[in-house]
Amino acid sequence: MSINPDPDSPFASPPGWFSGDTQMSELHLHSCLYRVHRKDSEKGVRLPKHQGEECTIDNRVTRVAWLNRSTILYAGNDKWCLDPRVVLLSNTQTQYSIEIQNVDVYDEGPYTCSVQTDNHPKTSRVHLIVQVSPKIVEISSDISINEGNNISLTCIATGRPEPTVTWRHISPKAVGFVSEDEYLEIQGITREQSGYYECSASNDVAAPVVRRVKVTVNYPPYISEAKGTGVPVGQKGTLQCEASAVPSAEFQWYKDDKRLVEGKKGVKVENRPFLSKLIFFNVSEHDYGNYTCVASNKLGHTNASITLFEVKTTTLPPGKGCRIPDGEEPPHRQHVSDGDQHRQGEHPCSKADTIPPNSDSRAEGDTNSREGNKECSGKTN
């Protein structure tokens, strides 16, 4: 609240008397001394940083009154207004003061102290300005909209002085625009523009008021990852299909135009909001082939082909000069049926030179001793 004395008044206060921001709930008006008593309230006010000098009336006062515009509040000790918030504080030869409690915006306006002396009347005028903290009284609700459509967000705020309203996108994927207006218009919204939008109202009376609106942008599914995998017969295999969509996609799996149902033929379908897994607990020959992952929501659908291919296990012969220990199998090597990327080469343990278990380490006609106890590892060079 600001109290601005009339500069033309004979009781006018020094320049800069009423300045600075604080909170108050009551106001004291004095005929010769402008003094404001501070109390906490929700209404912002402007108060003096220092007090003015008292005005001494030398002539004999015969009549005094306080007026708000043309309405008499007090005349002498008599109360003329019906407002219980207005009370008389003092009525002496040098000071005539009233108090307005719980100051409201409707109290704003001019106030006049009229003093009648033996010689001539004198008046002192002040103008009361009530400041009110910002308040958001209307804001758009959370909204869900399809990608490509237009939206309009509204944020209405009140306060004194009139607050400044701004919009900003606070999502991590924000494109960085800010609107200094009550209305935020977005043309052809995209999925990157989804998230929270923050409305802020400020007028320097108090801290800014902030409210948020959630904007959900719906779009059809998009399969971001669908990769084939190789599994040996008899092993567990998993095909994965990952899709982005709002609302979340529903997944279905097909093979040869036939939908796969969970629980049949050792197959399990495991769905999450953005990921679906087709799990084979014991892969057989007839499981290999192409599978189709279909992702759909209310805005559309898309699909991708994923291959489950065979990884064969091939037994390689023992290498030369190697002994296969009792109870052990010859070394094995995996070979992918549709083309192994590893270099194919002869295993260092050849079948012709394999020394049978429990045999003598000397061959006929051979004067040199072989290392018949050497074990052959399954590693290749």
Domain boundaries, the chain: 43-132, 140-219, 228-310
> What's the token pair of residue 17?
């008397």
Top CATH class of 140-219 equals mainly beta
CATH 2.60.40.10 fits 228-310, yes or no: yes
For residue 297, is pLDDT > 50? yes
> For residues 260 and 256, what is the distance between their CA atoms, to the nearest angstrom?
10
Which is more confident, 265 or 221?
221
| Predicted pLDDT at 63 | 86
Which is more confident, 54 or 257?
257
Task: Name the residue type at position 56.
Answer: T
CB-hemisphere CA count at 13 Å for 30? Answer: 21
Return the residue matching tokens 């992918």.
336
Q: What is the longest distance spanned by two Cα atoms in the chain?
A: 154
Least confident residue range of 22-36, 178-192, 220-234? 22-36
| Predicted pLDDT at 35 | 34
| pLDDT per position as a tens digit, 110-154 | 999 988 877 778 888 999 999 999 999 999 999 999 999 999 999
Task: Provide the pLDDT confidence category of residue 27 given band limits of 50, 70 and 90.
Answer: low
> For residues 323 and 277, what is the distance between their CA atoms, to the nearest angstrom?
45
> For residues 355 and 323, what is the distance between their CA atoms, to the nearest angstrom?
5
Task: Name the residue type at position 283.
Answer: V
For residue 25, is pLDDT > 50? no
| Predicted pLDDT at 88 | 92
| Predicted pLDDT at 373 | 42
Contact (Cβ atoms closer than 8 angstroms) between residue 147 and residue 219: yes
Task: Name the residue type at position 345.
Answer: G
Please tell me whether residue 193 adopts helix, strand or coil conformation: helix
What's the average model confidence in pLDDT over 65-87?
A: 92
What's the average model confidence in pLDDT over 99-108?
A: 90
For residue 335, is pLDDT > 70? no
Which is more confident, 4 or 238?
238
> For residues 43 and 60, what is the distance between their CA atoms, to the nearest angstrom?
39
pTM: 0.60
Which is more confident, 278 or 375?
278
CB-hemisphere CA count at 13 Å for 289? Answer: 11
Which range has the top average pLDDT, 84-98, 188-202, 303-317, 335-349? 188-202
Of 6, 53, 43, 51, nearest to 21 (Cα)?
43
| Predicted pLDDT at 67 | 93
| Predicted pLDDT at 316 | 57
Mean pLDDT of the chain: 74
| Per-residue exposure over 242-280, b if at least 16 CB sit within 10 Å of its own CB, e if not | bbbbbeebbbbbebeeeebeeeeeebebebeebebbbeb
For residue 345, is pLDDT > 90? no
Task: Provide the pLDDT confidence category of residue 158 given band limits of 50, 70 and 90.
Answer: very high
> For residues 327 and 226, what is the distance between their CA atoms, to the nearest angstrom?
43
The distance of Cα 114 from the centroid of its chain, to the nearest Å, equals 59
Q: Is the fold of 140-219 the same as that of 228-310?
A: yes
> What's the token pair of residue 76?
């002498």
Contact (Cβ atoms closer than 8 angstroms) between residue 91 and residue 99: no
> For residues 313 and 324, what is the distance between their CA atoms, to the nearest angstrom?
20
Task: Provide the pLDDT confidence category of residue 261 given band limits of 50, 70 and 90.
Answer: confident
Output the CATH code of domain 43-132.
Answer: 2.60.40.10
Helical segments of the chain, H only: none
Give how far Cα 362 sits from Cα of 58, 282, 319, 350, Å: 142, 47, 17, 18
| Predicted pLDDT at 118 | 74
For residue 332, is pLDDT > 50? no
> What's the token pair of residue 70?
């043309």
| Predicted pLDDT at 312 | 82
| Predicted pLDDT at 342 | 40
| Predicted pLDDT at 116 | 82
| Predicted pLDDT at 172 | 66
Contact (Cβ atoms closer than 8 angstroms) between residue 3 and residue 46: yes
Return the residue matching tokens 């394999």.
354
DSSP string, 100-166: EES--GGG-EEEEEEEEESS-EEEEEEEEE-EEEEEEEEEPPPEEEETT--EEEEEEEEEESPPEEE
Which is more confident, 44 or 172?
172
Give how far Cα 272 sits from Cα of 234, 243, 296, 322, Å: 27, 10, 13, 52
Which is more confident, 5 or 195?
195
Of 142, 127, 146, 104, nearest to 12 (Cα)?
127
Task: Provide the pLDDT confidence category of residue 55 given band limits of 50, 70 and 90.
Answer: very low
What's the average model confidence in pLDDT over 312-339?
A: 52
| Predicted pLDDT at 337 | 42
> For residues 147 and 216, what is the distance between their CA atoms, to the nearest angstrom?
9
